[in-house]
A and B are shown apart, each in its own frame.
Chain A
Amino acid sequence: GAGVSQSPSNKVTEKGKDVELRCDPISGHTALYWYRQRLGQGLEFLIYFQGNSAPDKSGLPSDRFSAERTGESVSTLTIQRTQQEDSAVYLCASSFDRDRAYEQYFGPGTRLTVT
């Protein structure tokens, strides 16, 4: 079906507020990834979901960051008590299964600005 979608496309929030970012993966894709892209920098891995396995949370930068995924569907990335350094584009990607994890399909991203 359609590609990976993310919402909102842009989010401006005040420092200290919580935000929730949403990712709809490609239907049938079992693996889902969240990355962070800061201005002028490469992609920073945050978290990885594969089917019903325990997620790989090793990239989350602090305990203010968390993510959930129900089955093989939508995922939400939550940032609590946002800080200015959280300002970035948050990218979601999905792939068919573990063995094809390298063929990742990316969404357009959510641009988060913390003021």
Chain B
Amino acid sequence: AQSVAQPEDQVNVAEGNPLTVKCTYSVSGNPYLFWYVQYPNRGLQFLLKYITGDNLVKGSYGFEAEFNKSQTSFHLKKPSALVSDSALYFCAVKAGNRLAFGKGNQVVVIP
């Protein structure tokens, strides 16, 4: 079955430092991979996706993610974190008609 794993529960980073949120995947065939962000008391917002093409995908709010087939990873990155980036981040993979989500990572950006 298609699945993703987010190995960390919480990521703490100082404002201005690089931010990385990890995701690994397990799929049969070519993966369709996504990142979503959830701000407090709000629904999920789409950040970016990888379907095919360049391994480095750029998305909203300055985020990017790198698809690495050999490591079966799709880590989310931002060069310089903002306090406003503090939120819950979900990695997901297309699994048939639905998305299969990871458990989420809480990101805390410290001023």
Assembled-state Cα–Cα distance A105/B34 (Å): 13
What bracket does the count of chain B residues touching chain A fall in?
20 to 34
B28 within 8 Å of A (CB atoms):
no
What sequence of 0s and 1s flags, for each residue 68-89 of chain A, a beta carbon within 8 Å of any chain B beta carbon?
A: 0000000000000000000000
Chain A: residues with Cβ within 8 Å of the partner, total of 25
A65 within 8 Å of B (CB atoms):
no
Q: B102 touching A101 by the CB < 8 A rule?
A: no
Q: A42-B102, A102-B99 are in contact. Are A91 and B44 (CB under 8 A)?
A: yes
- A residues with CB within 8 A of B: 4, 31, 33, 35, 40-43, 45, 48, 50, 56, 59, 91, 93, 98, 101-109
Q: A42-B90, A43-B90, A56-B97 are in contact. Are A105 and B102 (CB under 8 A)?
A: no
The one of B43, B46, B94 in contact with A109, judged by C-beta atoms closer than 8 angstroms, is B43
Q: List 17 A-B contacts (CB under 8 A).
A: A4-B43, A40-B103, A42-B90, A42-B103, A43-B44, A43-B90, A91-B43, A93-B44, A102-B94, A103-B46, A104-B46, A104-B99, A106-B36, A106-B44, A106-B45, A108-B41, A108-B42
Q: A42 touching B43 by the CB < 8 A rule?
A: no
Secondary structure type dominating chain B contacts? strand
Q: Would you give the shortest CB distance from B73 to chain A, in whole angstroms? A: 18
Interface members, chain B 8-49 (any A CB < 8 Å):
32, 34, 36, 41-46, 49
Q: Would you give the shortest CB distance from A40 to chain B, in whole angstroms? A: 8
B87 within 8 Å of A (CB atoms):
no
B57 within 8 Å of A (CB atoms):
no
Assembled-state Cα–Cα distance A93/B98 (Å): 10
Q: B97 touching A101 by the CB < 8 A rule?
A: yes
**Chain A, Cβ-Cβ closest to B43:** A106
**Chain A, Cβ-Cβ closest to B95:** A45
Residues of A contacting B102 with CB < 8 Å? 42
